[in-house]
Amino acid sequence: MRNEPTLTVSSSPHLHEKSSTSQIMYHVCLALVPALLWGVYVFGFRALVVVALSIAVAMVVEYLLGRLYEESTLWDGSALLTGLLVGLNMSPSVPLFIPALASAFAIFVAKWTFGGLGANWANPALAGRGFVFFSFTTPMSSFVAPRTLASAMPDAIASATPLGLVKTAVAGGAMGLDANTLLAQNGYPATSLAQSLAASTGFNAYTIDTFLGNVAGCIGEVSALALIIGALYLMIRKILTWHIPVTYMASLAILSWIFGGLPSGLGSFGGLFFPSLFSGGLMLGALFMATDYVTSPISRKGQVIFGVGCGFFTFLFRYFGGMPEAVSVSILLMNVITPTIDRYMKPRKFGDTRAVRKAAKEAKV
């Protein structure tokens, strides 16, 4: 009689973590509060309405599907986090039905269609944003000036992000100029604080404003500083590791520096990496969405590959594609590749050597 195995041990890592899934979800929500508060401060009360509506719809859909599948999932924090991320990825001026639709799609299609939390192949918030972005491109790509620049920023400029403005200028034939120069030539204003800091530190005023959050953009993406504060909190709590965020940002920065000047005629090593890092949704995506436990690789090596892949696709689409942003699409593409990365980066089981595998094959014969 053959002895059938009674216990199958998967490959490492095997972790004993005292934090529950719901605790992690609520900690991530707490880490996003600085970005939310800044977004409400610079964009006003309507930004809060957009985020609140996104959360409310996500929670309602989660409740209804939980009742349908007879699972109690409403208070595990996942729907709250998904709704919060959807809202932070919205323009403050977006029609209210769009964040509602994005949250419903995120929970119903991206999460529950595949079996609920832990079974989804893509980050639900990103899937929801991607769905409404390609369905309602114009309102999703229209923005308003932050209150810190409202009096100095014409509506024609405020309706675009710095990345979008630079992309349009290069497409229109502006050659031999870097991103900061293009912003200045197109009349994009800088705050007096940024100008003062630029004079004393040597950094460009636009770089300072994008770092602080004094630019047009989505509610939760404009302040790199607020997002970094939240990420540091998660690192202190040992919820977030450096592998995906650092490799994502480093790969994008290096590629932008080496090849980012080619589309505008500046040649190799003519690109600027600070605008790539602080503009658009890079910080929000790298720190809070690419790092999703379910849709990113398990192993550390796999996470490094994942981060580099996100950086590569973001660079490719931003500089040589039709999208000025591309963070969401890049992360979703790498979500698709995650199972393959896990398969080939899977650590060997303890004692699993070539000789052991050969002996096992011979025993089966």
- The residue among 263, 254, 177, 179 whose CA lies nearest residue 215 is 179
Q: Is 223 among the domain residues?
A: yes
Q: What is the pLDDT of residue 323?
A: 79
What token pair was written down for 190? 């800088």
Q: 215 with 299, same domain? A: yes
For the cut 60, the answer to whether the pLDDT of residue 258 exceeds it is: yes
What's the rounded Cα separation, in Å, for the pair 128 and 285? 14
Residue 125 lies in a domain: yes
Could you tell me if 286 and 320 lie in one domain?
Answer: yes
Upper half-sphere CA count for residue 72 (Cβ side, 13 Å) = 1
Whether 16 shows a pLDDT value over 50: the answer reads no
Query: Do 319 and 172 share a structural domain?
Result: yes
Measured CA distances, 35 to 30, 32, 111, 190, 229 (Å): 10, 5, 25, 20, 9
End-to-end C-alpha distance for the chain, whole angstroms = 16
pLDDT, mean of residues 352-361: 62
> Within a domain: residue 361?
no
Shared domain check, 185 and 257:
yes
Does residue 340 fall inside a structural domain? yes
Is the pLDDT at 3 greater than 70? The verdict is no
Evaluate whether 223 touches 210 at the Cβ level (below 8 Å).
no
What is the pLDDT averaged over residues 285-306?
Answer: 95
- The helix/strand/coil state of 17 is coil
The per-residue pLDDT for 340 is 94
Residue 96 shares a structural domain with residue 184:
no
Statement: the pTM of the whole predicted model exceeds 0.85? yes
Let me know whether 237 and 294 are in one domain. Answer: yes
User: Is residue 218 in a domain?
Assistant: yes
pLDDT (mean) for 209-220:
93
**234-238 LR contacts (CB < 8 Å, sep 24+):** 234/27, 234/28, 234/31, 237/19, 237/27
Both 303 and 219 in one domain: the answer is yes
Same domain, 272 and 170: yes
In a domain, 13, yes or no: no
Share of the chain above pLDDT 90, in %: 58
Position of tokens 């070539």?
354
Give phi and psi for 138, each to the nearest 5: -65, -55
- Show the domain range for 332: 163-344
> Based on the structure, what is the number of domains in the chain?
2
Least confident of 7-16, 248-257, 294-303: 7-16
Q: Which residue has the higher pLDDT, 223 or 269?
A: 223
Q: Are residues 237 and 338 in the same domain?
A: yes
For residue 230, give every residue at least 6 positions away whose Cβ sits within 8 Å of its Cβ, in sequence order, or none: 31, 32, 33, 34, 35, 287, 288
* pLDDT confidence tier of residue 272, bands split at 50, 70 and 90: confident
**What pLDDT is stored for residue 14 in this prediction?**
47
Of the candidate ranges 96-100, 288-292, 329-333, 347-351, the one whose mean pLDDT is the lowest:
347-351
Mean pLDDT across 1-29: 65
HSE value, Cβ hemisphere, 13 Å, CA-based, for 342: 17
> Within a 10 A sphere around the Cβ of 187, how many other Cβ atoms?
12
Q: Over the stretch 118-175, which tens digit does the pLDDT of each residue have?
A: 888 899 999 999 999 999 999 998 888 898 887 767 666 666 788 887 878 777 777 7
